[in-house]
Structure formats: C-alpha cells, structure tokens
Structure 1
Amino acid sequence: METMVLKDEQRPLYYAIMMCFVGGEANCASGLIHSLKDCYSHHKQLTASNVSEALATAKEDGLLDEAGSDVDKNGKLRIWYRMSSFGRQMVDRYILCSDQ
C-alpha cells in the first residue's frame, strides 16, 4: 500500500495516517505502522498504542468508520477502519487544501 507521503516534505504523523485512507482502503494500526515506518521510524509516536488511539479519535470525530475486526496471528485484536465521506471532505479541505 502506498502511503502518499513525500519524504522531502514530511507531513505531521496524524496527517500521514489520514492520508493512508484516502484511496478508500481499510487498514488497522499495525498495517499503518508498517506502511509508515520508512518515513516515520524516527517518530516516537509511531507505536501501536499511539496509532490505535489516533484511529479511535478519528472515528469519534467522524473522520473514520469501523470496517471490521479480526485477531492477528499473535492473538491480538485488530480494528479495521475506512475513511468516511466526511473524513474525505476534511482531508480534501485541510490536508490537501483543495476547495472540493
């Protein structure tokens, strides 16, 4: 999965997390960490608990919807999220800065 984050102009981590959902795919905290580790490995907030909290907050703010859940190979619960239409409007307006 492509992260849509430019190495030359690195966005804040929360913005990069939201950008991972722009294509409409569902993802979970561990998938996001894997996608973002090349550009954000130095970022102390790129941990499972912090990314999970960011996703839960985005869901409560209406930016993401839960898309399902499962258990990974280590027996840990994974919550999958997908961007809502409201979330897409907010990303377009405030992260991508388009007037759509």
Structure 2
Amino acid sequence: MRLLPARTAVLNYMSTVEEADVLQVMEELRPLYGSEKQFTAPLFLEHLMSLECNGYLDQVGYDLDENQQLRILYKINADGLDAVKKYISAEYRR
C-alpha cells in the first residue's frame, strides 16, 4: 500500500483521536514515516498549524511538558472530518 502525503496522514490520524500534540502524532506515524528525512517535530508542527489555518483542526489547549517545552493540543473539527471522508480513500482511513 502506498503512503499518504504526510499532512494528509496527520489529518487522517487526528480523525481517530480526541486530541493530540505533535509528539503524539509523530509517535503514531513513526512506523510509516519515521525513516523519511523530513520526519521532524518542526515540520509536523507545521502540518498541524497548517491544518488549523485551513479550518480542519482546532487548537484546544496548551501546557508545558515534563521538559518544560510548550505542548499544543489540537482536535479535528467537523470540517476536518468531512475532508477525511471526502478526500481520503477508505483503504487509508483508520
């Protein structure tokens, strides 16, 4: 099976969880995308922020993790769920 583009895979994953931060998203997608050079926290945070700007995710909170690093939580919204159903083939959906 071919891989989805990373940003699409992030949206697809977000449709399966209540909320997640960038490290949670990366941990889930690591088996498929972890060997790619672009598998970095800054790039995956950019994916989440872009999906938010495009109206598919909402920022639902933030705090500091155990290393005192900012952790931003995102949640998929109705438009994001509609996009998953419309644009992601059923064979890729989780």
TM-score bucket (shorter structure): 0.7 to 0.9
What residue ranges of structure 2 are gaps of 5+ in the alignment?
Answer: none
Higher RCO (Cα < 8 Å, 6 or more apart): 2
Which of 42, 49, 57 does residue 50 from structure 2 map onto? 57
The offset of 1:78, in angstroms, is 0.7
What residue ranges of structure 1 are gaps of 5+ in the alignment?
Answer: 1-7
Aligned length: 90
Q: TM-score with structure 2 length normalisation?
A: 0.87
The 3-state SS of whatever aligns with 1:57 is: helix
In structure 2, C-alpha distance between the alignment counterparts of 1:73 and 1:63, rounded to whole Å: 28
Q: CA RMSD in A?
A: 1.4
* Percentage of matched positions with identical amino acids: 29
In structure 1, C-alpha distance between the alignment counterparts of 2:32 and 2:17, rounded to whole Å: 21
Moved over 2 A (4+): none
Correspondence list, 1:14-93, <5 A: 14-93=7-86
The 3-state SS of whatever aligns with 2:73 is: strand
